[in-house]
Structure 1
Amino acid sequence: MQRIALRTRLRAGAEEIYDEVHSVIPAELDADMRSAGVRSWTIWRDGRDLFHYVEVDDYAAMQERLKDSAANQAWQARINRLLEGDFDPRNTGLRVIWTMDAPDGLV
């Protein structure tokens, strides 16, 4: 499993719309993401800055599989209009500098 961190930024004034759109994602997108190996995806927002944490079997394989997903294409079109610059699917995530893993059995 891979743990990937991503950073994106919202256009000014898009904060409420972004939060509303993400309150529930389409069931088809959820199913496509899970079948592409996504185990978990969490997004935090600080003002206009977004931080994504993804747990996925293989991030590159997930990107390849989702590029042909109609549900993902529709979602990206909807979300990218809210972002400063489109989300680049070739983004490999933030570089890990340091981590303190939880002791066995603790989360």
Structure 2
Amino acid sequence: MRRIALHTRLKPGREDEYDDVHATVPAELATAIRAAGVHGWWIWRDGLDLFHLVEVEDYQRMRHELRDHPANIGWQARMATLLDVTDDYSGTDTGLPLVWALPAAPGGATA
């Protein structure tokens, strides 16, 4: 299992629309994402900047599997109207490089 961090950026003025669209992600898309090996996907937004954390078995495989999935094709077309990024869903990217992490405390203690 890998954690992949991603950064995308919204087109100015599309913040509310982006939030609204993500309030109702189609069940078919969620099913396809899980079938492609994703265990969790979180998105945070700071103004126009979007930060994603993806827990996935194999990120490149996931991207390749979703690239031609009908639910994802429609979703990516919709995202293209909102995002200030061109993404061909090739699966060749590797996400953001990890710079630092605080490991969990021994025994699972958090303090």
Q: What is the TM-score normalised by the length of structure 2? A: 0.90
1:60-96 Cα distance to aligned partner (Å, 9 max, x none):
1101111110000100000111011223423320001
Counterpart in the other structure of 2:9: 9
Q: Is 1:98 aligned to residue 100 of structure 2?
A: yes
Long gaps (5+) in structure 2: none
Q: Percent identity?
A: 51
Distance 1:106 1:7 in 2: 30
Give the 5 Å matches for 1:25-36. Answer: 25-36=25-36
Long gaps (5+) in structure 1: none
1:27-55 Cα distance to aligned partner (Å, 9 max, x none):
00000000000000000000000000000
Asked whether the equivalents of residues 8 and 87 of structure 1 are also in contact (C-alpha less than 8 Å), the reply is no
Rg comparison, structure with higher value: 2
Distance 1:106 1:42 in 2: 24
Distance 2:103 2:24 in 1: 30
Distance 1:82 1:88 in 2: 15
Q: Is 1:61 aligned to residue 61 of structure 2?
A: yes
Distance 2:46 2:80 in 1: 18
Asked whether the equivalents of residues 9 and 48 of structure 1 are also in contact (C-alpha less than 8 Å), the reply is yes
Q: What is the TM-score normalised by the length of structure 1? A: 0.93
Distance 1:37 1:3 in 2: 12
Counterpart in the other structure of 2:84: 84
Asked whether the equivalents of residues 4 and 53 of structure 1 are also in contact (C-alpha less than 8 Å), the reply is yes
